[in-house]
Amino acid sequence: MITVPAPAGPGAFVHPALFYQDLTEYLVGVGDFVRGALAADEPVLVAVPGPHLDVLRESLDPAPAGAEIAWTDMAELGRNPGRILAALQDFADRHAGRASRIVGEPIWPGRSRAEVLEATRHEALINTAFAGRPATVLCPYDVRGLPPSVVADARRTHPTVIESGRVLLSPSHTDAPTVCADCDRPLPEHDGSVLRFEYAHGGLAELREYAAAWARSTPLAPARRGDLVLAISEAAANSLSHGGGRGTLRLWTATGKGVVAEIHDAGRLVDPLAGRRRPSLTSANGGRGLWMIHQLCDLVEVRASDDGLTLRLHMATP
């Protein structure tokens, strides 16, 4: 049996990576973690990709009467990695005053490079978002199915790792600002046709009309077109309020991958958690627009650079 670390006292937060070689090791590590939570009468959230979700539920059936366990398909929840953190915090908030245990598997074989990079940013920000909270977030990693670079990044984003049945401190653990800065790699240029629209104060309505007209030419369903135009509008509104009062919108279709809208302005992302945690109705820290963008889009790539901030918004097409 693998003994997974749990909060050692009030306000303690534990964030281990579970490196597994095969399904048997996965079921032992994650299963022991969940059973330990249930035995301690602690609420537990299991957010893993669908196939793993099914086999875990089967291996843990039947759960003890009254067990507080929630199951979530990470392939749906975490399609856009920018949505995951808010969901984990929502679960912990619903059980305020108690230690929560969470299994979160945000990276699995088959993820695109862009998704993996944003999920790595998410893993680093967990340490900031949950600091001082009594919780444990266990993150499984398929060391055989994932590239070595992804496993190396997991060692940087997790203070402890569980490997070959042993719990070890990670000598590669790195603070969140450094990891997030390393994630700000240049975005690849699209090699096809790209439309460009410059906007400034007073031009938000025209930008929405331009984006809506373009969206009608894409394979997006009408409802998703509306989502994209709303996301673009929110991003542009942030440019006008916080990004120097102007910005540039670029639009293109990526064959086989969906549609892309990119917004660039002279802004700065002062709070790296902006958009990744649910803003309250009375919040003075903003972030509502960026949070909405994350909820609407299938992937949001965020890049901070010397010349400003870039948001690349992706919508999958049928």
Tell me which residue of 261, 244, 243 sits closest to 252, measured CA to CA.
261
Which phi and psi (to 5°) does residue 104 adopt? -125, 115
Give the least confident one: 122-131, 239-248, 283-292. 283-292
Amino acid 3: pLDDT: 61
Amino acid 286: pLDDT: 54
Query: How many other C-beta atoms can be found within 10 angstroms of the C-beta atom of residue 141?
Result: 26
Q: How much of the chain exceeds pLDDT 90, in percent?
A: 79
Buried residues in 232-267 as b, exposed as e (16+ CB within 10 A):
bbbbbebbbebbeeebbbbbbbeeeebbbbbbbbeb
β-strand pairing of 195-200 with 246-254:
antiparallel
The angle subtended at Cα 70 by Cα 94 and Cα 145, nearest 5°, is 120
Q: Do domains 13-183 and 195-315 have the same CATH topology?
A: no
Amino acid 11: pLDDT: 57
Gyration radius from the chain CA atoms: 20
Q: What angle do the packed helices 113-129 and 176-183 form, to 10 degrees?
A: 160
Looking up tokens 């984990």 gives 88
The fold adopted by the segment(s) 195-315 is: Heat Shock Protein 90 (3.30.565)
Question: Given pLDDT bands bounded at 50, 70 and 90, which one contains residue 1?
Answer: low
Amino acid 285: pLDDT: 47
In the chain, where the domains are located: 13-183, 195-315
Can you name the residues that pair with 161 across neighbouring β-strands? 17, 168
Q: Where are the beta strands (DSSP E) in the chain?
A: 13-14, 16-20, 44-48, 69-73, 100-104, 135-142, 160-163, 166-169, 195-200, 246-254, 258-265, 299-305, 308-315
Q: Which two tokens stand for residue 44?
A: 């537990």
Amino acid 65: pLDDT: 72
Amino acid 204: pLDDT: 94
Amino acid 270: pLDDT: 86
β-strand pairing of 166-169 with 160-163:
antiparallel
Question: Given pLDDT bands bounded at 50, 70 and 90, which one contains residue 269?
Answer: confident
CB 211, CB 143: distance < 8 Å: no
Distance CA 24, CA 33 (A): 14
For residue 284, give every residue at least 6 positions away whose Cβ sits within 8 Å of its Cβ, in sequence order, or none: none
Amino acid 318: pLDDT: 83
Upstream peptide bond of 62 is cis (omega within 30 degrees of 0): yes
Is residue 283 scored above 60 in pLDDT? no
Each residue's pLDDT tens digit, 36-89: 999 899 999 999 999 999 999 999 877 777 789 999 999 999 999 999 999 999
Which phi and psi (to 5°) does residue 312 adopt? -110, 115
Q: What is the mean pLDDT of residues 308-313?
A: 96
The fold adopted by the segment(s) 13-183 is: Rossmann fold (3.40.50)
CB 5, CB 138: distance < 8 Å: no
Question: Given pLDDT bands bounded at 50, 70 and 90, which one contains residue 128?
Answer: very high
CB 82, CB 277: distance < 8 Å: no
Query: What is the DSSP-derived secondary structure letter of residue 243?
Result: S
The angle subtended at Cα 262 by Cα 243 and Cα 78, nearest 5°, is 105
Query: Mean pLDDT over all residues of the chain?
Result: 92
Q: How many helices (H) and strands (E) does the chain have?
A: 10, 13
Higher per-residue confidence, 165 vs 108: 108
Amino acid 33: pLDDT: 95
Distance CA 295, CA 315 (A): 11
Q: Which two tokens stand for residue 32?
A: 């022991």
